[in-house]
Structure 1
Amino acid sequence: MTAVSEFTDYLNKNTELLAVEIVDAVLDKMKLEIPEWEKEQAIKMYIEFIGFLARRLNGNEEIASEDLILWSRGNGERAASSGERISEIIVRYPPTRMILTEMMIQLAVKYTFSVKEISLVINEMNLMLDISINETIFAFERRNDKILQDTQREMEKLSAPIVPIRDGIAILPLIGKIDFYRAEYLSQNVVPRIAELDIDYLIVDFSGILDIDLEIAQYLYTIESVLRLIGIQTIVTGLRPSLAQTVVRGGIDMSNIKTFAHLKQALESIK
């Protein structure tokens, strides 16, 4: 049995012992106190990491790399799902790298590794840590982006309520920032719901909108055109001067759309 084989055999037989030692050393170095369940989770992660390293040193680089990528992605996704910041994960890598390096060198000396063999172990370990950092961050960002998108969709539903106020009339109060995604949500989801309400007038109230760009103004105008084609007249209220200027500068013709400063005036205009 070669020195490297003896070394990897030791790693495989003592993964839990080594993992506990690594976790304790990292926590001590960072002066951290974590709940017992989190410590047990960290130990399990390092048990798997040491197993990946042993397999790579035994020549199973491809299998070990695939497992490491899946493992790292899982860490990033769990962190995003639990509301952690990515910095809380990445900040632990430098002390972990230092502690792992010291541990591997001590073991390599114990098994009388040559300089070349010691370099192999350290290089493989560093490569694995770098792969892990990258995949963890990528997975965290993907999951976090999805969570943000899902949250945005829920907020869109809440921020674009259609409120029937009397026979044939409903109000669509717009609040907050209108961006492309929200404008598209209005087009794809809100307009069909309006069409199902059997109304003649829709009052779109802009009093809760502070800013709007030309592209979105054009998008909203297109929505009004669709409603007009299906027999619903759109009335605009609460359009601030700055918003009105954006519409005018963009060459959008709103001459066929009734506009009022206040909701009361709009309701009084409907006979």
Structure 2
Amino acid sequence: MTTIFTELQDFLLARRPDMLAELAQRVQQHSAGYAGLAQEELLPTMSLTIEALAEAIGSQDSLPFVAYAEALGEMRAHAGFILTDVLVAINAFRALTWDALEAFAAQQPACTVETVRIVEDMLGQFQRAMVTSFSLTYNQLHFQLLDQAEQIAAQQQTIRELSTPILPLYQNVLVLPLIGAIDSFRAGQMMERLLTAISERQSDIVIIDITGVPVIDTAVANYLLQTARAAQLIGAQVIMVGIGPEIAQTIVQLGVDLSRIAIGANLQTGIELALRFLGKRIVRRR
């Protein structure tokens, strides 16, 4: 049975091509998010939106239309849109629907205020459902990103701590074994962690083992020197071991002054020096 609502449904579907072209033009003109979408990605969704409204009007059942709005809002949030983009699209869609209603009412005297009110109520439900779904999804994604950022930061901190271990070797003696490339950030962190460990453990001697460091540049050499001097200022003796031929040549070329730092060939030598500073020595048992 044909009613004013089924006639309006047919009228909207007949006008869909023109509405679709105008809707795409408006949203892409006023929304950066939609402007970044290709026509082949944008037009099918907009066509479905017009079709869903027409079917809701014809059947007088807005539930599928509302469910579609919720799915669309969630999809736009996942696509990286912001609320302004969504509101631009909704307002453009409502304006074009009202234009179509005016054209329909001009042809159909049976189109009453009640008819228009029902359509407007459906559009209101659509807007509320889409905005709510978008906002909820957007907030969930935002908190997920914050949680991921916190996890990444914690993992990076763990990695940094593992890459700069400070080991208690003997009473009042710490060992800082360095492995791999050292950049300015890691060197600065090394200084901070070492000074904290010296202060917390009241250590008298620190052995810095750079056997596993392949290259030292000017910045890192300066950081090592600053670390040693800072350790000395808070009362710790610094012993540096594991300086290979290439690094030794680099240090000489850079003019880094290590005269106030005890030097050992390897970790064993460094331990022997540390014990000597403490008035102890290693004795073989017979």
Task: Indicate the TM-score class for this superposition, using the shorter chain for normalisation.
Answer: 0.5 to 0.7
In structure 2, what is the equivalent of residue 19 of structure 1? Answer: 20
Question: In 2, are the aligned partners of 1:86 and 1:137 still within 8 Å (CA)?
Answer: yes
Deviation at 1:128, TM superposition (A): 0.7
Amino acid at match of 1:65: V
Amino acid at match of 1:8: Q
In structure 2, what is the equivalent of residue 218 of structure 1? Answer: none
When residues 159 and 103 of structure 1 are mapped into structure 2, their CA distance, relative to the original with a 3 A threshold, is: farther
3-state secondary structure, aligned to 2:9: helix
Residues in 1 aligned to 2:237 and 2:96: alpha-carbon distance in whole angstroms = 72
When residues 237 and 146 of structure 1 are mapped into structure 2, their CA distance, relative to the original with a 3 A threshold, is: same
Residues in 2 aligned to 1:155 and 1:71: alpha-carbon distance in whole angstroms = 33
Deviation at 1:117, TM superposition (A): 0.5
3-state secondary structure, aligned to 1:236: helix
When residues 44 and 267 of structure 1 are mapped into structure 2, their CA distance, relative to the original with a 3 A threshold, is: farther
Segments of 5+ residues of structure 1 without an aligned counterpart are 177-203, 209-233, 240-255
Render the CA deviation track for 1:105-145: whole Å, top value 9, x for unaligned: 32344343111101111221122122212211221221232
Segments of 5+ residues of structure 2 without an aligned counterpart are 170-174, 178-184, 205-225, 240-270, 275-286
Residues in 2 aligned to 1:91 and 1:107: alpha-carbon distance in whole angstroms = 24
1:236 equivalent to 2:233? Answer no
In structure 2, what is the equivalent of residue 72 of structure 1? Answer: 73
Residues in 2 aligned to 1:78 and 1:3: alpha-carbon distance in whole angstroms = 38
Render the CA deviation track for 1:63-103: whole Å, top value 9, x for unaligned: 33222211211111112xxxx54434434444443333333
Question: In 1, are the aligned partners of 2:12 and 2:54 still within 8 Å (CA)?
Answer: yes
When residues 108 and 45 of structure 1 are mapped into structure 2, their CA distance, relative to the original with a 3 A threshold, is: farther
When residues 34 and 75 of structure 1 are mapped into structure 2, their CA distance, relative to the original with a 3 A threshold, is: closer
In structure 1, what is the equivalent of residue 60 of structure 2? Answer: 59
Residues in 2 aligned to 1:166 and 1:237: alpha-carbon distance in whole angstroms = 8
Render the CA deviation track for 1:208-228: whole Å, top value 9, x for unaligned: 9xxxxxxxxxxxxxxxxxxxx
3-state secondary structure, aligned to 1:132: helix
The equivalent position to 2:87 in structure 1, one of 76, 85, 90, is 90
Flag the structure with larger Rg. 2
Question: In 2, are the aligned partners of 1:108 and 1:118 still within 8 Å (CA)?
Answer: no
Residues in 1 aligned to 2:120 and 2:45: alpha-carbon distance in whole angstroms = 19
Render the CA deviation track for 1:136-157: whole Å, top value 9, x for unaligned: 1221221232233223322332
The equivalent position to 2:102 in structure 1, one of 97, 102, 105, is 105
When residues 170 and 107 of structure 1 are mapped into structure 2, their CA distance, relative to the original with a 3 A threshold, is: farther
Deviation at 1:50, TM superposition (A): 1.6
Question: In 1, are the aligned partners of 2:19 and 2:96 still within 8 Å (CA)?
Answer: no
Question: In 2, are the aligned partners of 1:205 and 1:237 still within 8 Å (CA)?
Answer: no
Question: In 2, are the aligned partners of 1:72 and 1:132 still within 8 Å (CA)?
Answer: yes
Question: In 2, are the aligned partners of 1:11 and 1:50 still within 8 Å (CA)?
Answer: yes
Amino acid at match of 1:128: F
Residues in 2 aligned to 1:36 and 1:66: alpha-carbon distance in whole angstroms = 26
When residues 149 and 235 of structure 1 are mapped into structure 2, their CA distance, relative to the original with a 3 A threshold, is: same
Amino acid at match of 1:138: L
Question: In 1, are the aligned partners of 2:20 and 2:47 still within 8 Å (CA)?
Answer: yes
Residues in 1 aligned to 2:43 and 2:104: alpha-carbon distance in whole angstroms = 20
3-state secondary structure, aligned to 2:69: helix
When residues 93 and 153 of structure 1 are mapped into structure 2, their CA distance, relative to the original with a 3 A threshold, is: same
Render the CA deviation track for 1:176-228: whole Å, top value 9, x for unaligned: 9xxxxxxxxxxxxxxxxxxxxxxxxxxx96949xxxxxxxxxxxxxxxxxxxx
1:114 equivalent to 2:112? Answer yes
When residues 134 and 206 of structure 1 are mapped into structure 2, their CA distance, relative to the original with a 3 A threshold, is: farther
Using structure 1 for the length normalisation, give the TM-score.
0.55
In structure 2, what is the equivalent of residue 9 of structure 1? Answer: 10
The equivalent position to 2:154 in structure 1, one of 146, 153, 156, is 156
Question: In 1, are the aligned partners of 2:69 and 2:127 still within 8 Å (CA)?
Answer: no
Using structure 2 for the length normalisation, give the TM-score.
0.53
